[in-house]
Amino acid sequence: MSPVILRRPPGLRLRSFHRIYTVAPEMETLFVTLRRVANAQCTVLVGGETGTGKELVARAIHLESPRRKAPFQAVNCATFSPTLLESELFGHVRGAFTGAVRDRAGLFALADGGTLFLGEVAEIP
């Protein structure tokens, strides 16, 4: 398979921010906002339709933040039943349910000091 070379029309400047690429100058405003948010000690809600890049934005915030050396954990909440989602987020002890053969830390514990991205939270029953 040969590489694909994409050519940009003259006059268009490619902008990027942690794997977010654009030629739209308006996106520079978003990049400034992401840098500012990344340095704030607060919880961030990234909204948007499915497939619009919310996880990419969350990862960019994480990589720009003081937490960048700590874990980034992502979970798509729509892929789990309520019981399994609880186990995924909070962990479980051995024997808590059929198939729980060992203690397992949840994503909240694994992301301690880093970032936990909860995707598709509107799909949680």
- 35-70 pLDDT, tens digit each: 999 999 899 999 999 899 999 999 999 999 999 999
**CB 85 within 8 Å of CB 28:** no
CA angle 23–53–80, rounded 5-degree value: 170
Q: Residue 5 above 90 pLDDT? A: no
**pTM for this prediction:** 0.80
Instruction: Confirm whether 3 is domain-assigned.
Output: no
Instruction: Confirm whether 110 is domain-assigned.
Output: yes
**Do both 22 and 55 map to the same domain?**
yes
**Do both 65 and 83 map to the same domain?**
no
**Do both 110 and 85 map to the same domain?**
yes
Instruction: Confirm whether 61 is domain-assigned.
Output: yes
**Do both 116 and 81 map to the same domain?**
yes
The alpha carbon of 104 is separated from its chain's Cα centroid by a whole number of angstroms, namely 22
- 75-85 pLDDT, tens digit each: 999 999 988 89
- Predicted local confidence at residue 45, as pLDDT: 93
Q: What is the mean pLDDT of the chain?
A: 90
Instruction: Confirm whether 41 is domain-assigned.
Output: yes
Q: Which domain holds residue 121?
A: 70-125
Structure tokens at 76: 């798509």
Instruction: Confirm whether 38 is domain-assigned.
Output: yes
Between these two residues, 125 and 104, which has the higher pLDDT value?
104
